[in-house]
Structure 1
Amino acid sequence: MSTDEPPVPRTRAEMRAAREAAAREAEAREAEAREAEAREAEAGEAEAGEAEAREAAAREAEAREADVTSRGSLSEDGAADRDDTHGVPPDAAPSPEPRVYSPPPPATTDRPTPAEAPPRNRRFLVALGAVLGILVLVGAGLGFVSLTQGPRITEVQVNPEQAIETSGSRVILTTNQALSAIDESQVTVEPAVPFTLDAAGRGVGIRFTVPLDDATEYTVRIADATGAGGGPSTTLTTSFTTPSSSIFLLRRDADGDDTIFRTDLTGENAVPVYAADKINDFRATSTQLVVSVEEDEGSKLLVMKRDGSDPRELKLPGDGYVGAIQVSDRGGYVGYSYSDRELSDTEGRASVLVTQSLSGDDDPVVTEVGGKEANIFVWQFVPDSSAVLFIDFDGALSLVDRSTDAGVQSLGLATTIQGISRGTYTAIVERLDGSVVELNLTDGSEQPLAASNPDYGTATTITPYPGGTLRHVVARDENGIPSGQAIITVDDEGTAIPLVEVGPTDSILQACASPSGQYAAVVIAPDLTDNPYDRMLLPLPEKMETHLLDLRTGDEIVALTGFDASWCQTAPQF
């Protein structure tokens, strides 16, 4: 009989202790795996896949160990039960029924495994590639549309309010692509108005050489415009509407303050903008008013906004008097005739021409001829420039431009300057022999001013405007006494039409046209026998009316009290 001891079965307490030890060991391994995962996550996304693989391996090992432990425990439990209950030796015990073990599912985490999803940097690259692909498709689509539809306007720049007051305003078109060369023949403006063209790249600039009509819709078309890279042609079209005109007038009051007011062309919305005891003269630019105020010690020259606010005084050459104010809107200058208050045969300046900046940043400049201050009989700013045309007391006609160093240019002898056309640099001048000529200020050439048809005789004043002239003519009886006066419109072809006529008791003091030649302002002093002159530096009848007329139809619009319309380049002269 063998003396070997049979295997001693473990008690239930021993088996439970073994199972608990195995569980603690598994939990420790799992905790270690989680800590490793956290360290690897902090190291970066690039190592995430490796940490997850280690975690999966740890769980799989745990599951296998748990399976082994479970199987051993089941066998030992069965033997112990049989021993405790029946006292059967182990070798005599029947084999237990086979049991199927299902390992517990692996613990889930928020992070997908490497087999489930790509790393984050790979997802970013995919998204970036998709966005770039969409942009390429959109760009290709837009390019295709441009090639199939031709150029289009993307932006229009225009200042309609400025366009009715000054020449040289622009419409600037910007297109979606660079354009091939554009000729002026491709451009039309309706209603027709003269213009110049400046086009380059994606921009097309159309400069109007004369002011535009008010309350009018203008349409600009550029036919057969093509892209610089080819493709179909198209017609570029844009429209804009100019605002209604307004006008400034001066109303003198013998018993109170003189007032400058602004009104529309109906006369129903007059608004006073500046008042003073004695306003001698004023002029208006597109942004400012220049006002000459008469005081006992002399004149003051004020510059202010168009609503009369923020007045500031300009420095004068001395203590004296200012007259014949004019402004150069484009050059930013004011000009005037100046005389010292204290004059004698040997001292003091009389009727010298002074120009200075409207900003007041410079000192007044007295015009000189041959190194000496010149006494000026009559003068005018050349429209759309800073040049001055003047006649001195010797009858010499000269031109000087503040913006250049060319000096004074001599243009012969003359008795008066009737006017200077906007946009043409052409002056209407009366020579010493009485002939009236059109003088080209750029080259000095001249030609006789054509007579009107019918011929109304010699005009006392001639005021040019775009498309024609306003001519003031006086009818006289056989004794040479005035029997009536009239303002005649004469177009560029010479056709003359009477616009305003008055009898011998009234007098026409001034006539001027709106900047575009759409309207006319005619100043009439009624009933001269009962209309005394005031005692201002520029003496005028106390009662004056400004008649506004439509030059296209000849119809009168309204008659307003006042004179010195802001459309006029100069004040009335006597």
Structure 2
Amino acid sequence: MSTEDRPEVPQTRAEARAAREAAEREAAEAAVPSVPVAPEGEWLRLPAIVQPVSSSTASQAPLNDAHQKAQQQESPQAEPPQAEPSRADPRGSQDDPQPKGSPDRRFLYTILAVVAVLVVVVGALGAVSLFQGPRVSQVQVDTAEAIDVSGSRVILTANQSLQEIDESQVTVDPAVPFTVDAAGRSIGIRFTVPLDDATEYTVRVDGVTGVGGGPASDLSTAFTTPAAKIFLLNRSDEDDSIFRTDLGGENAVPVFTHPRINDYRSTSTRLVVAVEDEDGSRILVMDHDGENVRELTLPGDGYVSSVQVSERGGLVGYTYSDRELTEDTGRASVLVTQSLSGDDEPHIIEVGDAEASVAEWQFVPDSAAVLFIDFASTLSLDDRSGDEGAQNMGIAMRLLGISRGTYTAIVQRADGATVELNLADGSETPLAASEPDFGPATTIAPYPGGTLRHVVSRDENGLPTGQAIIRVDDDGEATSLFDVDSGNAILQACPSPSGQYVAVTVAPNLVENRYDDMLVPLPRTLQTHLIDLRSGEEMVVLTGFDASWCQMAPRF
């Protein structure tokens, strides 16, 4: 009998349960896919994950009705299996549409968000500018130049074009005279006098509005000027030297030495030095540290003195005399000007088509003009920036000083009267006497706010009993600032550019103070007293003379 013909043997309940569990295990194992292993050195490319097959749907051997009925009676009715979510191929399909969270779509959303933020920011800034008014976007100022020369500027640049600015809208603290030049977005404040050193200045422009209207605003800036430094000349039995120092005198540094330094002057960036040797004089131009020395061409072989510089005109001037002089040949004390850069030939000043020999001369501050008195006592003005030549300003015996920023000279006329001469139109007014009156001045040095006057006190016989420097304010109030006893001499008083300080050169103990053998002889021992011009207090005494604040070298 074959096995197919054998009758089915009834199973017990336990046997039916075991058969059922075995069938379920076989179905579950068949539903788990095998994991492929990639060969060494190659990436494994996985196929799409196959949806798992529920054990309830796996193929099983058929059971007879009796067995099925027995199984149903043994266990409660099972819930139908829940289908698992399908898992897409992580690499995607070329035929399928782009998934909702794809990188390209996220990048597009990011760009749109950034653009939206920028639109909001620009709109907000525009609204803020409409409600805030103009603001300062840039400030330009050269603080080092501001303490050395007049005419320096601070420029405020706004973030928009501005309506017209009136000078009454501008204030400067501490107060200094200024002019205003405004156009477009820029407001330029020009200081007509040099500024004090080591001082904080605040510039404010009130009620500024844009050309398109809107609210007004106040523009302001603050800056601090640097501490001042000066140069002094010191002569010795060995080499002469020009040194630079602070106003305390503790950091003196020699910048140039030579066996015989006759004279020198300083600009904001350069030194101009006249030296002597066996063949005559030479003029050297160099940096403040004594580097990059170059020599200027002179009119011939001779000697120079009274060296001066025009910062604004870029010129050096001096009196020149030929080394070989006779009654009929040679030039004596002619006035010469030439460019500081040395790119031109020296030019001799003429009066009436003849080279003029001059007794005194000065550059007019903040210009390229020279004011001089020739040996015929004719006062002349020659603007070297033009071609008009020398203009006759009358007869004068002394040239006492020229004010900064005002184009006004103080001269002594032939009748002995001291007047203030307007060099622009030739008008003049008597120099007001001081209160109290300390007597006639031998020299007058103007500064912003007043003048320094060198006076000599005498006894009833006319003999000198002492000398003093008198400070006279613009309102005429006079104060004795510095004095020396008989036997000492004041050679020169030079205010700093802003009138903050004064350098007074003194020759002490004249009886024992022998003279040098230079072209312009001076006592060998000279001292410079630095004084605070506002308080009158003496700050320090330095060895040397011819402070760089002075327009010319001292004479004795």
Identify whether the pair has TM-score above 0.5, normalized to the shorter chain.
Answer: yes
Mapping of residues 202-351 of structure 1, within 5 Å = 202-253=185-236, 255-351=237-333
Shift of 1:217: 0.7
Letter in 2 for 1:138: V
Q: Distance in 2 between matches of 1:107 and 1:534?
A: 102
The equivalent residue for 2:122 is: 139
For this pair of structures, how many residues does the alignment match? 471
Contact 2:350/2:389 (<8 A) preserved:
no
In structure 2, distance between residues paired with 1:560 and 1:229: 59
Q: Which runs of 5+ in 2 are unaligned?
A: 1-85
The match for 1:404 is: 386
TM-score (norm 1): 0.79
2:529 to 547, 556, 559: 547
* Alignment of 1:496 onto 2:478: yes
Supply the distance in 1 between the matched residues of 2:103 and 2:352 (Cα, whole angstroms).
87
> Given residue 306 of structure 2, which amino acid in structure 1 is its aligned partner?
A
Give the AA of the match of 1:544: L
C-alpha spacing 1:104/1:484, structure 2 compared with 1 (3 Å):
closer
- Alignment deviations for residues 253-274 of structure 1 (CA, whole Å, 9 cap, x no partner): 1x20001011111111111111
Map 1:87-486 → 2, pairs under 5 A: 109=92, 113-114=96-97, 116=99, 131-253=114-236, 255-486=237-468
**Secondary structure of the corresponding residue to residue 529 of structure 1:** coil
Which of 503, 516, 539 is matched with 1:557 structurally? 539
Please give the secondary structure, in 2, of the residue aligned with 1:530: coil
Distance in 1 (alpha carbons) for counterparts of 2:290 and 2:455: 36
Superposed CA RMSD = 2.1
Aligned AA (1:172): I
Residue identity opposite 1:313 in structure 2? E
Q: CA deviation at 1:136?
A: 3.2
- Aligned with residue 510 of structure 2, among 528, 551, 558: 528
State the Cα deviation string for residues 377-407 of structure 1 (Å, max 9, x = none): 1111111111111111111111111111222
Cα 1:557–1:112 change in 2 (3 A) is farther
Match of 1:511 in 2: 493
Q: How big is the shift at 1:140?
A: 1.7
TM-score normalized with structure 2 length: 0.81
Give 1:141 shift.
Answer: 1.2
Aligned partners of 2:265 and 2:422: how far apart in 1? 26
Structure 1: gaps spanning 5 or more residues: 1-102
Superposition deviation, residue 134 in structure 1: 3.8
Partner Cα distance (2:443, 2:95) in 1? 97
CA spacing shift, 1:120–1:351, aligned 2, 3 Å = same
What is the letter of the counterpart of residue 208 of structure 1? F
Deviates more, 1:161-170 or 1:316-325: 161-170
Letter in 1 for 2:327: D
Counterpart code for 1:261: F
Higher helix share: 1
Return closer, same or farther for 1:107/1:501 CA change in 2, 3 Å cut-off. Answer: closer
Distance 1:278 1:549 in 2: 29
Distance 1:105 1:521, change over 3 A: closer
Residue 135 (structure 1) shift: 3.4
Whole-Å separation in 2 of the counterparts to 1:222 and 1:105: 71
Q: Deviations over 1:273-299 (max 9, x none)?
A: 111001001000000000000111100
Deviation at 1:138, TM superposition (A): 2.2
Q: 1:119 to 1:396 in 2, by over 3 A?
A: farther
Comparing 135-144 and 406-415, the one that deviates more: 135-144
Secondary structure at 1:267's aligned position in 2? coil
SS class of match (2:218): strand
Query: 1:436-492: per-residue Cα shift (whole Å, max 9, x none)?
Result: 111111111111110000011110000000000000001111221111111000000
Deviation digits for residues 64-96 of structure 1, max 9, x if unmatched?
xxxxxxxxxxxxxxxxxxxxxxxxxxxxxxxxx
Instruction: Give the superposition deviation at 1:146.
Output: 1.0
1:5-16 aligned within 5 A:
none
Distance 1:170 1:112 in 2: 73
Give the partner amino acid of 1:156.
V
Residues of 2 paired with 1:127 and 1:236: CA distance?
40
Q: Which residue of 2 aligns with 1:94?
A: none
